[in-house]
Amino acid sequence: MGKVIELATATSPNIAPEKILNGALNAALTEVVVIGQRPDGTVYFAMSTADAPSVNWMLDCAKRLLMDGILEDDTHHG
């Protein structure tokens, strides 16, 4: 059996989606990717740019931040 790697990700209580979205509105973003889950379990996905490689890069960056346990203050405080 392989090594078990403990992730240093946030374990605080969930934050309301509205709070996260309001924080993003105040972050002076130039491009956005929004991923969410609807009550029926389906995934919502939207992006502000048609440049798929740029979106893929942002998703990779976000995954790296998640794996490293680094979250923007805006994520916690909206």
Instruction: Tell me the CA distances in angstroms from 15 to 3, 18, 19, 67, 76, one per residue in order.
Output: 31, 8, 7, 19, 7
Kindly report the pTM of this predicted structure: 0.69
How far is residue 26's CA from residue 2's CA, in Å, rounded to a whole number?
43
Q: pLDDT tens, position by position, for the chain (78 residues)?
A: 577 666 565 667 888 999 999 999 999 999 999 999 999 999 999 999 999 999 999 999 999 988 887 665 544 444
